[in-house]
Structure 1
């Protein structure tokens, strides 16, 4: 049993970056892939800071781009470890952008990255157990646990669904999809 505990607050990181024209997509807004790259970096930093280990991205939960980001806005990302397993950590990330001339702040997206701690040989290693010190951390930990359990149930249902059943074909038909195999 691991008796090594660490405060989740040690994982908190905030980064800010001014968005430049080189970060834009074809419509002139900041490219979502660029933002995802920054999110991956802060998830790595947060998980590595908490665990004291090199961490890799195992999965990224749903990412919804809620508001576009414009050139010249200051993007701020806040990350913290919300949940700790044996070797994995779920890092919550909140992305906002600020128009630095008007001060208007927009929530652009939030996401959850599952990070796994590795040793120098690339072998998965245990991480410190979480020491929760606030009601907000309790809330985040439980919400993450619910998401994990929901995803497990969803994946199990997907595995058990027969995609060649008459039910599957009727669903496609009701959506005006033509199947020609």
Structure 2
């Protein structure tokens, strides 16, 4: 399987923040932002793997600044690292005041996407080749993030559950 460059998976989505996208204090709903993040990550991972993908995990989304009504919001992501069938995708969100031109990094996250074969089973993915300084840094630091994800997953107590419907 031939390796692919990070830039081949790069995906960019820009949207205008409209009234249905905002909460009661005039900023974009966090859930809407995370939906955009997941969508961009899925497209980037599909471009890289050239297969159907599913979201296996989303690292914490760090909201760094608000996105206001009327801003443009740009969500950009690319594959930073791969395992056998999994891909780490870095996604950043940038808000832009269209009148002043001021841009702010608004949120970042890492998602793990898994490629699937025609039977819905994990399928191999190509290695990733980083080129820019940002891509190289994220590629080099990915194994540590993967280790922390595995730790987090192993520490989750599956024996505990909340009652459903008050039962």
Length, aligned pairs only: 157
> Using a 3 Å threshold, how does the CA distance of structure 1 residues 146 and 106 change in structure 2: closer, same or farther?
same
RMSD over aligned Cα atoms? 1.8
Q: Give runs of aligned pairs for residues 5-154 of structure 1, distance below 5 A.
A: 5-153=3-151
Q: Gaps spanning 5+ residues in structure 2: where?
A: 157-167
Q: What TM-score do the two structures reach when normalised by structure 1?
A: 0.80
Deviation at 1:136, TM superposition (A): 3.2
More helix by share: 1
Tell me, in whole angstroms, the C-alpha distance in 2 between the residues paired with 1:4 and 1:19.
Answer: 39
Question: Secondary structure at 1:26's aligned position in 2?
Answer: coil
Of the structure 1 ranges 135-144 and 60-69, higher mean CA displacement relative to structure 2 is found in: 135-144
Contact 2:79–2:128 (CA under 8 A) maintained in structure 1: no
Rg larger for: 1
| Structure 1 residue 138: Cα displacement | 2.2
Distance 1:30 1:132, change over 3 A: closer
